[in-house]
Structure 1
Amino acid sequence: MDDNDIIQLYWDRNEQAIRITSDKYGHYCKAIARNILNNEEDAEECVNDTYLNAWNSMPTHWPKQLETFLGKITRNLSFNKYKHDHAEKRGSGEITLVLDELTDCVSDTDNVEQVLDHQELIKAISSFVRSFSENKRNLFVRRYWYADSVSAIANDTGMLQGTVSKTLERTRKQLKAYLTERGFEI
């Protein structure tokens, strides 16, 4: 079934929309949640919450890309669950490393959020990522959107782990310089 047909099912409030969404995008959403949470049960809970959020938000929003829309919901729910579960201590897992790696590039302190226009920051990062070659863009997105481990990325791309790590390190430095040049305080 085509994405527009699935979205129409949501708009029609047809419960089949959730089953079809699960069949088509369940593995995709679960992979995102699992990479962030590193826990099968929590990942499953976030995916189910994704369907509920999609159900509740569809009547007012017709997403351009259903896959991206669902991925973003899953990712946000997973990050929220992660933050809730690790509020008092730093947990182990890939997401801690991913967040630590990006700390120098983009801060999440109240000070920065008050100064920066959030949408402008998103546009700047998107523009930066779009300027990459396809291979470099895939490395960046897999690491910082999907929270894939360096070893998984290396394995899937045929690159050495050290090469993946070094490429990501250089990319973070470039991102920091790019944002600084555009007036964002880091």
Structure 2
Amino acid sequence: MDDSEIIQLYFARNETAIEETSKKYRNYCTKIAHNILSNFEDSEECVNDTFLGAWETIPPKTPAKLSSFLGRITRNIALNKHDYYMAKKRNKTFDTILDELNDCLSSPDNVESQYEEEQIAESISNFLLKINEDHRNIFLRRYWYSDSLADIATRFSISESKTKSVLFRTRKKLQLYLMKEGYIL
């Protein structure tokens, strides 16, 4: 079943929408959640919450791309769960990824408003559109999907060392770009 048919099921409030969404996107959403949480049970819980979130959000929203819509819900739920675990100091895996970006981004204490956060997000998006497509995809696989260095290297047929190098250089370029845009880092 294609995405537009699944979305129509949501609008008709037909519970088959959740079943079809699960068939098509369960593995995708589970991978996103597991990359953040490193725990299968918590990942499954996030995926189930994602499907419930989609049910509650469609309608009124009509996602342009269902996979991105579900990926974003999953990622946000997993990040919230990660924050909960970090408060209890239970998960260390995802922290490495966040630490890599610390030099490029200002801390939440330096960001005074949601408007500024949106402006930074827009600047990052603009930066990503300006860089080499492979470097952009490597960056997104690491920092959006939380893929491991080994998974990224395999996906792009490069060494882990090359992957680290691309990520390091891209972070440095991002840092310079944001400084030129007027963000104090």
TM-score bracket, normalised by the shorter chain, equals over 0.9
1:37-186 residue pairs with structure 2 within 5 A?
37-89=37-89, 91-93=91-93, 95-114=94-113, 117-186=116-185
Give the Cα–Cα distance (whole angstroms) in 1 for the partners of residues 25 and 131 of structure 2.
Answer: 27
Q: Cα deviations across residues 12-49 of structure 1 (Å, max 9, x unaligned)?
A: 11000000001111111010001000000000000000
- Unmatched 5+ residue regions in structure 1? none
- Superposed displacement of residue 130, structure 1: 1.3
**What amino acid maps onto 1:114 in structure 2?**
S
Q: Is the 8 A contact 2:36 2:82 kept in 1?
A: yes
- Unmatched 5+ residue regions in structure 2? none
Q: Cα deviations across residues 64-96 of structure 1 (Å, max 9, x unaligned)?
A: 111100000000000000110111427321x11
Residue 26 of structure 1 aligns with which residue?
Answer: 26
Segments of 4+ moved more than 6 angstroms: none
3-state SS, counterpart of residue 113 of structure 2: helix
**What amino acid maps onto 2:170 in structure 1?**
T
Rate the CA distance shift 1:108–1:152 in 2: closer, same or farther, 3 A: same
- Superposed displacement of residue 98, structure 1: 0.8
Give the Cα–Cα distance (whole angstroms) in 2 for the partners of residues 73 and 115 of structure 1.
Answer: 19
Q: Is the 8 A contact 1:47 1:74 kept in 2?
A: yes
- Superposed displacement of residue 118, structure 1: 2.1
Aligned sequence identity (%): 48
TM-score with structure 2 setting the length: 0.94
- Superposed displacement of residue 143, structure 1: 0.3
Q: Is the 8 A contact 1:140 1:168 kept in 2?
A: yes
Q: Is the 8 A contact 1:116 1:184 kept in 2?
A: no
CA RMSD of aligned residues (A): 1.5
Return 105-114 or 67-76, whichever deviates more: 105-114
Aligned pairs, how many?
Answer: 185
Q: Is the 8 A contact 1:90 1:96 kept in 2?
A: no
Residue 10 of structure 1 aligns with which residue?
Answer: 10
- Superposed displacement of residue 104, structure 1: 1.2
